[in-house]
Structure 1
Amino acid sequence: MTTTLRSLAVAVVQAAPVPLDFQGGIDKALRLAREAVESGAKVVAFGETFLGGYPLWLDDAPGAGLWDHPGTKALHRIMLEQAVVPGDERLLPLQELAYASGAIISIGAHERVRRSLVNNQLTFRPGLPVMDHRKLVPTHTERLIWARGDGSTLGVHQAEWGRLGTLICWEHWMPLARAAMHNLGEDVHVAAWPTVRESHQIASRHYAMEGRCFVLAAGLVQTKDDLFDGLERVGGDDAARELLEAIPGEVLNRGGSLIAAPDTRVIAQAGEGEETLFAELDLGEVAEGLANLDTDGHYSRPDVFELSVDTRSKDGVAWL
């Protein structure tokens, strides 16, 4: 695949994470990203929290949300011990791959900020520092593990071919978050999900139409056995193992990744297993779509509606 300013080669890596074992996940991500880059991709997208794995026990394990549950506490401790941190040297190989190849790599991770975990979609960029997007609102039971992000990580990367941004999971049902991102003029958007089920596919395709951009909807494949394997990799814990054993079913994240065009059509669609989707995007479709719909321009009413976005970092304590 080749890339011009109108033509952009992209890839969505739909794969199983290495739950809990962050170094194992980084090693796997590096191998898969390198394979995609060697196939010509200039944008490579992974799903939500690929590094660390999606915390499936919060939704699927009975009792996980009970106060002082020993298994939940044990898993939280492991995540805090394993999570990436700002400036984490373990991530340097992914950054170096972006530098050497000129490709952009978007990947989800559990990140430790002070003593809390946040859900961060990291964007590795050639010649620039990593760009963060921390999930603004953890969804439902996710609030048991992640703190909220703030407006300081709402942004886009300006590449030579256009602009790329990202939102995570149910942020795609936050109308004001979508409006803010549309104002930034994305040409390509990474929609990170744990599984791209039907409702997530609809949200991703709707975002493509509303934002007049291409959407790379990236999901994970994850099984109960993956959770047990990851737990053993980090030393195991009886309380954590007991909680995971209570999860019903075997296949827990089912892929479903897709690549959508600005007119909502599906360019590429994955099944439920591990695979990498490739597509060659005609970026001219973005401008053509804007002829009849620009939700941030001629199809907006700034005299009626106004949105303010606070981009200050909110650390909670100001040391003066």
Structure 2
Amino acid sequence: MSRIVRAAAVQISPVLGDDGMGTARKVCRTIREAAEKGVKLAVFPETFVPYYPYFSFIKPAFRFGAEHLALYERAVSVPGPITDMVAEAARETGMVVVLGVNERDHGTLYNAQVIFDATGEIVLKRRKITPTYHERMVWGQGDGSGLTVVDSAAGRIGALACWEHYNPLARYALMAQHEEIHCAQFPGSLVGQVFADQMEVTIRHHALESGCFVVNATGWLDDEQVRQVAGDPALEGPLRGGCFTAIVSPEGRLLGTPVTDGEGMVIADLDFALITKRKRMMDSVGHYARPELLSLLLDRRPARTVHYVDDAACEGGAP
């Protein structure tokens, strides 16, 4: 029997310059607008709350200390007031929400993806395993504990951020857990058209290879925000283009018209019968796999800087 879930990929601009609550309120308004259209799964862009660190792409590290510190002050605690607000909107609308945030954990920021179930419960918080290029000066590294597919009211969901999609083993880790919907997030308003072109290839290929739906959301900066972030007309060019918000079927087809400029939503009905149709032909982790030849070792233990040993369990009381 076919099961159909209506999904929305959201292209949206942040509220710059506030404490993150303005952007979070915008997320909640958008969730409620999507609910009026029958949406049951909404995906928002990479590190959307409070905003993606665009400054790190256009400025050398020794010049963006003030912007980095401001991001620390506005970053999100998980759980915390901002996630509580989004959880309430998810619960109120009965919607699964995938949100990208800058997470602060004491002295380190992380690129985090948070999945809220339709009950408002956080069913996954994962961190980008390898920040890309300029991002390595902003965020710490995630670990294998987040390479997890979770059950939700919308189906089995996996998520990766941006160029994590260029790590084939990370993608395979989610494929092997039989994700039905893959939620992808990119910053948008970055690099230019070539970034959008590459993004389309990436998400369509993953849909084909995994035999799943891909819901991809990118952020967007309007002209005034580009000027505000750049602070110099010579730096504005790299902050334009690079948007490709889209939904892809397991057959690699685009469902609806992608959003490449401005704010908007791509909404599509995901017919899960297409997953079986695709996997009957090619199941990368089933009948098309050769595990006796090729396999993946995934360490899903959370990374820890300190390992505590109970003194009472040690001989002589020494760890």
Answer yes or no: same fold by TM over 0.5: yes
Conserved in 2, the CA contact under 8 Å of 1:5 and 1:160? no
Could you tell me which residue of structure 1 aligns to residue 88 of structure 2? 96
User: Structure 1 residues 227 and 51 mapped into 2: Cα distance closer, same or farther (>3 Å)?
Assistant: farther
> Amino acid of the residue matched to residue 33 of structure 2?
E
Q: Measure the CA separation in 2 of the matches of 1:279 and 1:211.
A: 19
Deviation at 1:149, TM superposition (A): 0.3
SS in 1 for 2:38: coil
- Residues 131-159 of structure 1 deviation map (CA, whole Å, 9 limit, x = unaligned): 21210100111101010000111212213
Bigger shift: residues 264-273 or 220-229: 220-229
Could you tell me which residue of structure 2 aligns to residue 220 of structure 1? 219
User: Structure 1 residues 42 and 168 mapped into 2: Cα distance closer, same or farther (>3 Å)?
Assistant: same
- Residues 43-81 of structure 1 deviation map (CA, whole Å, 9 limit, x = unaligned): 0011111112221122223xx23xxx2x41111111111
Superposition RMSD on alpha carbons, in Å? 2.1
2:14 matches 1:17: yes
Q: Measure the CA separation in 2 of the matches of 1:78 and 1:35.
A: 30
Q: Measure the CA separation in 1 of the matches of 2:82 and 2:157.
A: 24
For 1:99-114, what aligned pairs fall within 5 Å after superposition? 99-114=91-106
For 1:276-287, what aligned pairs fall within 5 Å after superposition? 276-287=265-276
Deviation at 1:121, TM superposition (A): 1.2
> Amino acid of the residue matched to residue 293 of structure 1?
M
Bigger shift: residues 176-185 or 245-254: 245-254
**Higher RCO by CA contacts (8 Å cutoff, separation 6 or greater):** 1
User: Structure 1 residues 12 and 113 mapped into 2: Cα distance closer, same or farther (>3 Å)?
Assistant: same
Q: Measure the CA separation in 2 of the matches of 1:143 and 1:224.
A: 27
For 1:14-93, what aligned pairs fall within 5 Å after superposition? 14-19=11-16, 21=18, 22-61=20-59, 64-65=60-61, 69=62, 71-93=63-85
Q: Measure the CA separation in 2 of the matches of 1:307 and 1:250.
A: 37
Task: Report the identity percentage.
Answer: 32
Scaled by the length of structure 2, the TM-score of the pair is 0.88
2:263 matches 1:274: yes
SS in 1 for 2:235: coil
Conserved in 1, the CA contact under 8 Å of 2:43 and 2:183? yes
User: Structure 1 residues 288 and 298 mapped into 2: Cα distance closer, same or farther (>3 Å)?
Assistant: same
SS in 2 for 1:290: helix
Q: Measure the CA separation in 1 of the matches of 2:82 and 2:151.
A: 25
> Amino acid of the residue matched to residue 104 of structure 2?
R
- Residues 140-184 of structure 1 deviation map (CA, whole Å, 9 limit, x = unaligned): 111010100001112122135531111000111101101100011
SS in 2 for 1:25: helix
Could you tell me which residue of structure 2 aligns to residue 118 of structure 1? 110
Could you tell me which residue of structure 1 aligns to residue 172 of structure 2? 179
Conserved in 2, the CA contact under 8 Å of 1:12 and 1:46? yes
Deviation at 1:130, TM superposition (A): 4.4
The structure 1 segments of at least 4 consecutive aligned residues displaced by more than 6 Å after TM superposition are: none
Could you tell me which residue of structure 1 aligns to residue 150 of structure 2? 157
Could you tell me which residue of structure 2 aligns to residue 262 of structure 1? 250
Q: Measure the CA separation in 2 of the matches of 1:102 and 1:138.
A: 32
2:14 matches 1:7: no
Conserved in 2, the CA contact under 8 Å of 1:194 and 1:253? no
